[in-house]
Chains A and B, each alone.
Chain A
Amino acid sequence: MTKPSLPIVRVDKLLVVYVLLSVFFGLWMVYSSTAFRMDESGLDSSILNLLRFDFGKQVIGVFLGGCAAIYLSSLDPESTYRNQKYVFALLLISVVLLILVKILGVTANGAKRWLALPGFTLQPSELFKPVAAILTAFLVTKENHPLGVHQTKDWIFVSKLVGLFIIPLLLINNQPDLGTVITITAVILGVLFYSGLHRNVFLTMSGLALGAFTYAIISSPFRLMRVKNWWSAIQDPLNINDPSGSGHQIKQALIAVGNGGVFGVGPGAGRQKLYFLPESHTDYIFAVIGEELGLIGSLLVGGLFFLIMSRCFKTISHATTPFLKSLALGLTLLLIVQALVNISVVLSLFPSKGIPLPFISYGANSAISSLICVGILLGISKRTHDSSLS
């Protein structure tokens, strides 16, 4: 606020195009993996029924997310987010919502993650994702000396940061949603690393986080089982541990992807979504893509994310202040790490986690959260001193 804002350069149109492509591709795949359920419920596929169904909810989510993105892209990020009151207000709201989930939340699939509001189901952990990126960027640039110079000061800084994050992360972990906790932690560590945190402090923090997650896994039998199943799938995708029980989902995902081959079985023609593959329209939508559109379609989706990533890195490079750089990186990592974790889980490169594929998976909260990230990124891209970006 002390600095004058840079003149507004045009928004990063390419990023807009790539995100729009991803979003529409996502709507198509959500339609493909849910439309058959309408037939089963005896509904015809008129527009009205379509909108009442899963697909319609997704359209509304995308619309709301789009509106949010347009609005956020118009704000000056430096003055808006680098504002202590504002940032702590966001944190406070997030924590309150997460506590409300703990008390009043709706349970589905054994997890309590949602708040039932009239006409809408809110998932506060999703909305906390961009908040975490903002808070991290704010904290790493709040100190009036650079990180990495004095190890002791870094330790003090990190303790403060952990103190602020520990409560929301524990609340999310408690839902349980270890996947989201790991994703947010990875993003925070990435930003801390980028912002020059002392090597020893960074490695210690990473080690602590790793230890905490390992403990969380081995202390829970079902998580341990997932790791066991994942390890068997790494060794031999045809011979998965407990294929008809806890290994069922990863087995069905691998069958779907493998069945697609190079060219896929054709749009809409996939059969794994017909109750073979659980969560085919949400966390496992990439398996439906793999089956229906094959290697080509999978690479296309991967390519879109790669292009989004490259645009985001351009934004980071050309951002004018350390705060904007850190913020941009945090948001970028949020999108890209989620995408990579999601795809890796579908391909059994990682043990199962409840992480959606940004822009594509069914889920209005995820769509809104991801589009908020894009909106802020667009806002940053507007205020660079490099007109070549647009």
Chain B
Amino acid sequence: MKDYIHNLLRILDGIKRNFSGFQSENQSHSPRLRIIKAILYGWILLVICRLAQLQIFMHSDLSRLAKNQQIATQPIIAKRGKIIDRNGFSLAESIETSSLAARPIFFYPQYKKTGKSVIWGEPDRSAAKYVANLLSPLIDIEASRIENKLLTKKPFIYIARPLSPEITRQVESRDISRFGLTLEKVFVRSYPKGSYAAQVVGYTDLDGEGKLGIEQIYNDVIKGQNGERNVYVDGKKRFMVDNNRVTKEPIAGFNLELTLDSTIQRYAEEALATAVTKARPKSAYAIVVNPNTGEILAAASYPTFDPNLSVSKSTKTLEEALESRKFHAVTDGYEPGSTMKVLTIAMALEEGLVSLDESIDCKGPYTTPFGQIIRDHGKNGFLKVNEILAKSSNIGTAKIGMRLPKQDFYSYLDKFGFGKPSGLGVAGEIRTPLLPVEEWSGSTQYTLTYGYALLTSPLHVLMAGSAVANGGILMRPMLVKNIYAEDGSIVKKFSPEEKERVISEKTSALMRDILKDVVTVGTAKKARLNGVDSFGKTGTSYKRVNGKYSDGRHQYASYLGFFPADKPQYGILVMLDDAQNGGDGGDIAAPAFKEIAENIIRYKKTPTDTLVDNLPITLKLGNWPDPSPEEWVPDLNKVPDLKGLSLKIALQRIIASGGIPRVSLGNKQTTIHRVQFQDPQPFTDLEKGQIVKVITENP
């Protein structure tokens, strides 16, 4: 620049000496005109250099800046996978629809962003009003509310989400992009079974993240991977419809097949509802498992919720709504009480520390060497092991349980899975470690034998009970059977997993046998099933209220039952927490077990059922010769001749002919029965579903 001025001055100097303006003779070569031309040429040269600098040498840098501001990356939401039950019924699925979003900047013409400070200026209210009035009838929201949303001083807001597919189409038909509005593809999570198994299946929040149960545990598996799309935007941050380019395809989430059986789930929900209406507990749950595999077939909970409604939309108070959104069966701790006696007796039998013939003095109250007083319900004398369980004697159980050394007792509890995670992977699972033996006081083992001094979840108790019932093996609880890809191919198959053997087959068989007495003559007569033998144990434990056991007013009433008794296929735990109308496990939990179990029996006996092999016929065959199954061909619509058959065979034939058996037992104490009498008579017409009564005699 300096040189340039210097040159200019030199030329000017020359002009002074040899002046010639336009008056000069040679007009076209006036030196001053030449200077003017030179200045203009120089200027043009400068412009060309600058153009070259910007358009050639800085092209890539400036082009990058252009792309940065002209192209925005939008996520393409991946479709969340389905959750289905073991029979293929949908428990959760995603339906495609849209959310209506707006960029309020569009309505602030003076919007300016200077560094970090943002000036919004006055909004263009008439434009916002116009758009609000246009949208209001479409999305059924008051125009004034839409207007307020449009004028929110945020870069991006949702006006309505999600919209139904029908409304989406209507909104789409209006050219909304010119108002800075966009429809974003979203998926709405739908739960066809509503509140059934809601705590197990879980729910998703508005952002599509799993918040409870399976939706949460397997969130990463179901969620899939969002894709990306490059979208051109204009200076007002509005999306341009042209030239969208998908840079990353979304990957749909995997589908999950659960171990749940929707039908059994319904039975559990209905039975629980009945029990809750009668007993009015604070909370309650019923869990059905296959004790042999650990598969959870149903898990009903009270209070429950409808996962189709968001927390804010439910009618309950927020606290209630959040309380219902918990998988109580694994997140709530309780002292199991008498159901624990099953495990105590099983340990003693396994260790050979008690025999079935031994009579134990159960006179109460019994004062332990450590001064603790143990009482039974009612007055008991000398009881055998089966009677101790049937009458749920605390004294008898404690005396037998104390025969185990502390360390052994502790290690059995550990092997039964207490104090460790269930393995289900549910967030917030109760996890109170077992008290180490060194910290046990004199009375600890006494109280442990009948189910106190141990905080655990109902699922833990059910799995431990299943180990006693299934031949002695603790199974890992299972909720997911298979993971499928979108095309239906199996990604992962889950198999039942044995955790460890706790007791022997023999002890397990003994336990199955003696626990039948609980149902037939003991505390759980209300759990007795029609036509199928079952076994189980009631549990009634005092709740600790403010650190003290509240005598009878606040208690956990539970029933842990299994059927069919000989080879259990189903294990059910029903628990009612703090029933306001009172009642112990045998009164209020056992009937729910009965309702669920009998429904399952009916359900699994239907002729179309493929699981006919699993017919829960557990009655033993007699020691007389029964005709072999091959000799008998069922004649539908005719009542079979049942006289003289073992009850077990008779029941099979009634069912195979299309009837429903109703049994009156001659002697309820045994498991061996022979048909003495039937109604209707043999070979008369039988309608499908007609009841066939049989009366048995003891052989």
B14 to chain A, nearest CB (A): 11
Determine whether the beta carbon of A271 is less than 8 Å from that of B232. yes
A92 to B115, CA, bound (A): 47
Which chain A residue lies CB-closest to B179? A40
Which residues of B sit under 8 angstroms from A295, Cβ to Cβ? 51-52, 55-56
Which chain B residue lies CB-closest to A349? B50
A199 to B31, CA, bound (A): 14
Known: A271-B70, A302-B48, A343-B47. A294 touches B21 (CB 8 A): no
Which residues of B sit under 8 angstroms from A252, Cβ to Cβ? 235
Determine whether the beta carbon of B55 is less than 8 Å from that of A261. yes
Determine whether the beta carbon of A258 is less than 8 Å from that of B22. no
Q: Which of B1-54 contact A (CB under 8 A)?
A: 12, 15-16, 19-23, 27-28, 30, 32-33, 35-37, 40, 43-44, 46-48, 50-54
0/1 interface trace, chain A 279-306, chain B, CB 8 Å (1 if under): 0000000000010001100110010001
Which residues of A sit under 8 angstroms from B22, Cβ to Cβ? 194-196, 322, 325-326
Other-chain residue from B46, B55, B65, B178 in contact with A262 (beta carbon distance below 8 A) = B55
Other-chain residue from B35, B37, B54, B235 in contact with A237 (beta carbon distance below 8 A) = B54
Binds B, one of A57-65, A76-84, A122-130, A309-317: A309-317
Determine whether the beta carbon of A298 is less than 8 Å from that of B12. no
Known: A199-B12, A276-B70. A290 touches B55 (CB 8 A): yes
Which residues of B sit under 8 angstroms from A290, Cβ to Cβ? 51, 54-55
Known: A274-B235, A347-B51. A245 touches B33 (CB 8 A): no
0/1 interface trace, chain A 329-364, chain B, CB 8 Å (1 if under): 100010010001001100101000000000000000
Determine whether the beta carbon of B21 is less than 8 Å from that of A42. no
Determine whether the beta carbon of B30 is less than 8 Å from that of A260. no
A299 to B56, CA, bound (A): 13
Determine whether the beta carbon of A340 is less than 8 Å from that of B40. yes
Determine whether the beta carbon of A258 is less than 8 Å from that of B28. no
A340 to B36, CA, bound (A): 14
Is the CB of A382 closer than 8 A to any CB of chain B? no
Determine whether the beta carbon of B62 is less than 8 Å from that of A237. yes
Is the CB of A275 closer than 8 A to any CB of chain B? yes
Known: A199-B12, A272-B66, A302-B47. A244 touches B32 (CB 8 A): no
A208 to B170, CA, bound (A): 68
Determine whether the beta carbon of A261 is less than 8 Å from that of B59. yes
Determine whether the beta carbon of A317 is less than 8 Å from that of B27. yes
A275 to B33, CA, bound (A): 43
Determine whether the beta carbon of A242 is less than 8 Å from that of B114. yes
Q: A42-B175, A203-B12, A245-B115 are in contact. List 10 more A-B contacts (CB 8 A).
A: A148-B21, A194-B33, A257-B51, A258-B65, A258-B66, A259-B62, A276-B234, A290-B54, A347-B54, A349-B47
Known: A258-B63, A276-B70, A343-B47. A244 touches B113 (CB 8 A): yes
Is the CB of B544 closer than 8 A to any CB of chain A? no
Is the CB of B373 closer than 8 A to any CB of chain A? no
Which chain B residue lies CB-closest to A294? B55
B200 to chain A, nearest CB (A): 51
Give 23 CB contacts A-B under 8 Å.
A40-B178, A148-B21, A190-B36, A194-B33, A199-B15, A199-B16, A203-B12, A237-B53, A237-B54, A238-B58, A258-B66, A260-B55, A272-B66, A274-B234, A275-B235, A276-B70, A276-B235, A277-B235, A298-B55, A302-B44, A302-B48, A340-B47, A344-B46
Is the CB of B668 closer than 8 A to any CB of chain A? no
Which chain A residue lies CB-closest to B119? A245
A262 to B52, CA, bound (A): 9
Is the CB of A157 closer than 8 A to any CB of chain B? no
Which residues of B sit under 8 angstroms from A40, Cβ to Cβ? 178
Determine whether the beta carbon of B21 is less than 8 Å from that of A195. yes
Is the CB of A254 closer than 8 A to any CB of chain B? yes
Is the CB of B207 closer than 8 A to any CB of chain A? no
Tell me the A residues contacting B by CB distance below 8 Å.
Answer: 40, 42, 146-148, 190, 193-196, 199, 203, 237-238, 242, 244-246, 252, 254-262, 271-272, 274-277, 290, 294-295, 298-299, 302, 306, 309, 313, 316-318, 322, 325-326, 329, 333, 336, 340, 343-344, 347, 349
A184 to B178, CA, bound (A): 42
Which residues of B sit under 8 angstroms from A244, Cβ to Cβ? 112-115
Determine whether the beta carbon of A259 is less than 8 Å from that of B63. yes
Tell me the B residues contacting A by CB distance below 8 Å.
Answer: 12, 15-16, 19-23, 27-28, 30, 32-33, 35-37, 40, 43-44, 46-48, 50-56, 58-59, 61-63, 65-66, 69-70, 112-115, 175, 178, 232, 234-236, 240
Determine whether the beta carbon of B51 is less than 8 Å from that of A194. no
Which chain B residue lies CB-closest to A313? B37
Which chain B residue lies CB-closest to A317? B28
A70 to B245, CA, bound (A): 52
A130 to B114, CA, bound (A): 40
Known: A343-B47, A347-B47, A349-B46. A257 touches B55 (CB 8 A): yes
Which residues of A sit under 8 angstroms from B112, Cβ to Cβ? 244-245
Which residues of A sit under 8 angstroms from B20, Cβ to Cβ? 196
CB-CB nearest 9 A-B residue pairs: A258-B62, A196-B21, A275-B235, A245-B114, A274-B234, A317-B28, A276-B235, A259-B66, A295-B55
A362 to B186, CA, bound (A): 44
Which chain B residue lies CB-closest to A272? B66
A372 to chain B, nearest CB (A): 21
Which chain A residue lies CB-closest to B58? A258
Which chain A residue lies CB-closest to B240? A274
A254 to B21, CA, bound (A): 41
Determine whether the beta carbon of A258 is less than 8 Å from that of B115. no
Known: A258-B63, A349-B50. A42 touches B178 (CB 8 A): yes
A271 to B59, CA, bound (A): 16
Which chain A residue lies CB-closest to B33? A194
Other-chain residue from B33, B40, B59, B235 in contact with A258 (beta carbon distance below 8 A) = B59
Which residues of B sit under 8 angstroms from A255, Cβ to Cβ? 62, 65-66, 69
Known: A316-B33, A347-B54. A258 touches B61 (CB 8 A): yes
Other-chain residue from A194, A246, A317 in contact with B36 (beta carbon distance below 8 A) = A194
- Residue from B20, B50, B114, B115 with most neighbouring chain A CB atoms (10 Å): B50
Which residues of A sit under 8 angstroms from B37, Cβ to Cβ? 313
Which residues of B sit under 8 angstroms from A277, Cβ to Cβ? 235
Which residues of A sit under 8 angstroms from B23, Cβ to Cβ? 146, 196, 322
B31 to chain A, nearest CB (A): 10
A194 to B38, CA, bound (A): 13
B234 to chain A, nearest CB (A): 4
Which residues of A sit under 8 angstroms from B54, Cβ to Cβ? 237, 254, 257-258, 290, 347
Which residues of A sit under 8 angstroms from B240, Cβ to Cβ? 274
Which residues of A sit under 8 angstroms from B32, Cβ to Cβ? 193-194, 196
Which residues of B sit under 8 angstroms from A254, Cβ to Cβ? 54, 62
A271 to B236, CA, bound (A): 12
B212 to chain A, nearest CB (A): 44
A336 to B80, CA, bound (A): 64
Which residues of A sit under 8 angstroms from B30, Cβ to Cβ? 194
Known: A238-B61, A349-B47. A271 touches B114 (CB 8 A): no
Other-chain residue from A42, A258, A271, A306 in contact with B44 (beta carbon distance below 8 A) = A306
